[in-house]
A and B are shown apart, each in its own frame.
Chain A
Amino acid sequence: MDNSTSKSDKNMEDLTEKSGKKVDYFALKEQQESKFNSKGSAVSEAEAEAMKKAKKIKDKPKFTVKEFKRQWVLIVIGVVYVIYGIIFNYLPLIGWIMAFQNFKFAKGIFKSQFVGLKKFQFLFSDNNFLMVIRNTFAMGVLNLVFSTVVAIAFAILLNEVRNKYFKKSIQTISYMPHFLSWIIVVAIVHDAVSNTGIINEILLKLHIVDSPYNFLAEPNWFWPLVTLSHLWKETGWNAIIYLAAITSIDPCLYESAAIDGAGRFQKMRYVTLPSLRPTIIILLIMNMGNVLNAGFELQYLLGNDVVRSVSRTIDIYVLDWALDGRNMDYSLGTAAGIFKTVVSLTLIVMANYVAKKKGDERLF
């Protein structure tokens, strides 16, 4: 099934590619007839190179008054989007100034007192802030590692299923939790680990514990609970992309591996995993920037005062400065937010650089 569809897709691609080339070729001829009218010999250039050139010439927009007039509609729409973008996406960046001020809402962003790096100094001397950095990194890395590994394992196992309907049903069930909100997930986790929940019931039946264990009040259990909740919600969803990558692996590779005497697990190890490498790397790069984003809703909802020291993340720290009525300090919160964004960007660029160095796929 999958083979035939992928084949037909390939054919389609080939077709469009060919037709595209044809158009380019005609464009090229036109261009040359008009430009190099005297030098008729230009047609004899290497075909591929010429077509590339033609495409470039054809796609390059010409900044002429006529062209401006012709596409004024597009330009007007573009201007509207730029205004919208400046207001909702770029003005908040200007708000970063607040981190260097003693910002007071009534005074506004231009009249508040300027304090330089004082807020950052406070931030890095605040033990709470160092603690939330640790928590954010720890949970982000745990989530990244486990969700990648489990999703790949799940995709590989699901790919081994022969029965089409069984495979489809399992997959459909597996990514359903992705569409539930974190609030629902937290409600479910609460129920599962409560005194009468299924986890404690099993533990009691197996005589591992004598009385119900309170997971939510145990700091050592918070990170594992967060990781497990993530796995429950996202494994099926994350597996989709790997499953798609697995089905596009050339079956010849498996056949030749079989001829060389590879068993099922050797095929997984020496064919499937290396073929997934580009996908894994590009997703890892993309998720690197999200390591620090991996901690907000779940930690905020699942955390409580007892596990405060391990549950709070940078985002929650920022939120506290924004919402805490008396000690509200927008400047400090902004400074913490800037720290997060800068670190995230650095991580993406670094991951991209490493991938580039190793000659693998990269994002940009």
Chain B
Amino acid sequence: MAETEVTLNRPLKKRKKKMATEDVIFYIFNTIFLLLFALVTLYPILNTLAYSFNEGNDAVRGGIHFLPRKFATKNYETVFAKESIWIALRITILRTILGTLTSLFANALLSYILSRKKFLFKSSLSLFWIITMYASGGLIPTMVLFRYLHLTSSFWVYVIPGMVSAFNVMVMRTYMGGIPESLEESAMLEGAGYMTVFAKIISPLCKPVYATIALFVAVYHWNAWFDAMLYNRMDPQYTTLQYELMKLLDNVSTATSGQVSAQQAAQTGGASVTVTPMTVRAAATIATMAPIIALYPFLQRYFVTGLTIGGVKE
């Protein structure tokens, strides 16, 4: 008690000055800490970028940080010389576009009917979908079902089963519920049906939430590999980019990375431009993440609004 009184009795100016120095120290440390955080986040990506543009044998020596030591584009040439990469690219783009469009439509329409206040089966249908969020059949029953439905060994396994996501529906429904009912009522007085209201009135007002959901679904499709491995392992015509990258990763780790490539380096003498599994993988990694990284700065605000719209996180 006595101490606080003393501090309070000190001249105002002096007290302020002392606070300020404390503040300065805190801010300096905080800034350094956050800069370090950003460095730790960015360094691995920049490092992979540097390796991907480095000549293979030279890269084995290590010590490359932000810039390639011996510049070469051979790694990327090797990656894109593979036919499987082009097939994977085509499938991935196709599933991203088709999957995003169908999923957006399916989620939006379900959200629309669930957000109609007068819909007779509103609560029962909501419950029907909420249950799916918590109870899922699991990997094997799903796989067996897909085999019975002839969805395995086909492209459609990427698009059809995951079309409706209860979580996304809940997010969209909340947003649509906030749109004044009077808009719908006046349109209906003019003779519009439910589908016209959905297409002409609700959807234009839902553009922000549509954009957010579409982005999340698109990122999901771009990054998907597990369904390709599980359902289309024997069908290289339906492979996806991330699955191809995963195979590369497997190859490198089974080759116990550095040592084998060092031997290769010794054998070839390092005179011509070479590639190693490690640098090729770096190139493939960069190529796969490039679209996301390139679009990210422009789209990131939609990602964040998605969180605040729904009020909850995944």
Contact = CB atoms under 8 A, between A and B. Distances in A.
A183 interface: yes
Contacts of A261: 4, 7
A348 interface: yes
Interface string B287-314: 0110011001100100110011000110
Interface residues of B, number: 96
Nearest to B285: A187
Interface stretch (B78-86, B200-208, B242-250, B267-275): B242-250
A198 B48 CA distance: 11
A7 to B, nearest CB: 16
Contact of B164 (A77, A81, A315): A81
A57 interface: no
Interface of B: 4, 7, 22-23, 26-27, 30-31, 33-35, 37-38, 40-45, 47-48, 51, 60-63, 65, 109-110, 113, 116-122, 125, 128-129, 132, 134-145, 147, 149, 160-161, 163-164, 178, 182, 193-195, 219, 222-223, 225-226, 230, 233, 242, 245-246, 249, 252-253, 257-258, 278, 281-282, 285, 288-289, 292-293, 296-297, 300, 303-304, 307-308, 312-313
Q: Which of B45, B161, B225, B253 has the most CB of A within 10 A?
A: B253
B186 to A, nearest CB: 13
B120 A75 contact: yes
What interface size band does chain A fall in?
Answer: 35 or more
Interface of A: 16, 23, 59, 61, 63, 67-68, 71, 73-75, 77-78, 81-82, 84-85, 87-96, 98, 103, 105, 109, 154, 157-158, 160-162, 166, 169-170, 172-177, 179-184, 186-192, 194-198, 201, 216, 232, 236, 238, 240-241, 244, 261, 263-264, 282-283, 286, 289, 297, 301, 304, 315, 318-319, 321-323, 330, 333-334, 337-338, 340-341, 345, 348
A95 B137 contact: yes
A304 B160 CA distance: 33
Contact of B120 (A71, A176, A195): A71
Nearest to B119: A74
Given A78-B125, A181-B223, A301-B246, A286 B312 contact: yes
26 contacts: A73-B194, A74-B119, A75-B121, A78-B121, A81-B129, A90-B132, A91-B137, A92-B138, A96-B137, A105-B147, A170-B37, A179-B292, A187-B48, A187-B282, A188-B285, A190-B249, A194-B257, A198-B43, A198-B44, A201-B62, A240-B307, A304-B253, A318-B139, A321-B140, A322-B140, A330-B140
A201 B42 CA distance: 18
Nearest to B139: A318
